[in-house]
């Protein structure tokens, strides 16, 4: 039973570029949430996808967008990258639109913007 | 900003017991989760409390008092592999709101 998988694991981008991160949820899970974790801090909620729709969004600009596919996998897109976007991006999967109960996390994508 | 408060660092001796406290905001509260995160790794789910009381899972226990907006994680029989950061996170239905994490340092 595969857990949450994210790709790529590491990424280096230049300021102004665009990036797409991918996530496959744990088998049987239908809800995907994305978090940004800066070094030495707790994760910050970006948004949640359930039934292919963005259900709730954290305090992130419109440069951050996402998508959920019929197979429940998800993508996070970030446009016009800033140095401050450098962080670990975590995908969490859960069930039934609930994002807080026993959310399982992938290993994350380490994004470095130079 | 984050509205959960937990100590930034705790030091304990191998084999001992340590308690990590967490206070949370009351609005939109469904439950309190605890996660462990080793350096460079993903957060790993430890426990979840929706109701008052103690939940025990092996060497780890978690407690919640909704009237005090307070919870704690108790780690017993500490092992060197328990050295990690521990996060409390408030379940607000759609999202988890995280504390800044407590770095647990274990000395032999």
pLDDT digits (tens, 9 = 90+) for B38-94: 998 999 999 999 999 999 989 999 999 999 999 999 999 999 999 999 999 998 878
Cβ-nearest to A101 among B2, B31, B99: B31
Which chain A residue has the Cα nearest residue B91?
A100
Which residues from B are below 8 Å from A41, CB to CB? 2, 100-101
- A106 interfacial to chain B (CB closer than 8 Å): yes
Whether residue B45 and residue A104 make contact (CB cut-off 8 A), yes or no, is yes
Closest-CA residue of chain B to A106: B42
Interchain proximity A41–B45, CB inside 8 Å = no
Distance CA B51, CA B101 (A): 22
pLDDT for residue A1: 59
3-state secondary structure of B27: coil
Are A35 and A60 in contact by the 8 Å Cβ rule? The answer is no
Nearest chain B residue (CA) to A55: B94
Nearest to A92 by CA among A47, A41, A38, A40: A47
**Residue A66 touches partner B, C-beta closer than 8 Å:** no
Residue B18 has pLDDT above 80, yes or no: yes
A44 touches chain B (CB under 8 A): yes
The verdict on a CB contact (< 8 Å) between B95 and A107 is: no
Q: Is A108 in Cβ contact with B94 (below 8 Å)? A: no
Chain B residues whose beta carbon lies within 8 Å of the beta carbon of residue A107: 41-42
Residues A81-98 pLDDT 10s: 999 999 999 999 998 877
Whether B45 sits inside 8 A of A45 (CB atoms) is no
CB of B70 within 8 Å of any CB in chain A?
Answer: no
DSSP letter string, A10-78:
EEEE-TT--EEEEEEPPTT--EEEEEEE-TTS--EEEEEEETTEEEEE-S--TTEEEEE-TTS-EEEEE
Percent residues over pLDDT 90 in chain B: 81
Q: Are B43 and B32 in contact, with CB atoms under 8 Å apart? A: no
User: How many degrees, rounded to 5, is the angle at CA A112 between CA A91 and CA A15?
Assistant: 115
Beta bridge partners of B87: B35
Res. B1: pLDDT tops 50: no
pLDDT one digit per residue (tens) for chain A, 114 residues = 579 999 999 999 999 999 999 999 999 999 999 999 999 899 999 999 999 999 999 999 999 999 999 999 999 999 999 999 999 999 999 988 776 777 899 999 999 999
């Amino acid at each position: 039973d595969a857990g949450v998988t994210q790709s790529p694991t590491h990424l280096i981008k230049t300021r102004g570029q665009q990036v797409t991160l991918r996530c496959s949820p744990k088998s049987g899970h239908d809800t995907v949430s994305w978090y940004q974790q800066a070094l030495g801090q707790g994760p910050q909620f970006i948004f949640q996808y359930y039934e292919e729709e963005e259900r709730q969004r954290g305090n992130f600009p419109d440069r951050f967008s996402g998508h959920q596919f019929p197979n429940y996998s998800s993508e996070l897109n970030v446009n016009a990258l800033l140095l401050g976007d450098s962080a670990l991006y975590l995908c969490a999967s859960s069930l039934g639109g609930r994002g807080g109960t026993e959310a399982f996390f992938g290993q994350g994508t380490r994004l470095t913007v130079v | 900003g984050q509205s959960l408060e937990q100590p930034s660092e705790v030091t304990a001796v191998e084999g001992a017991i340590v308690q990590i406290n967490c206070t949370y905001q009351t609005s939109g509260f469904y439950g309190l989760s605890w996660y462990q995160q080793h350096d460079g790794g993903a957060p790993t789910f430890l426990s979840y409390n929706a109701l008052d009381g103690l939940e025990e899972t092996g060497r780890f226990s978690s407690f919640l008092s909704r009237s005090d907006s307070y919870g704690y994680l108790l780690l017993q029989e500490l092992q060197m592999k328990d050295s990690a950061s521990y996060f409390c996170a408030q379940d607000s239905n759609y999202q988890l709101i995280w504390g800044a994490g407590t770095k647990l340092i274990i000395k032999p």
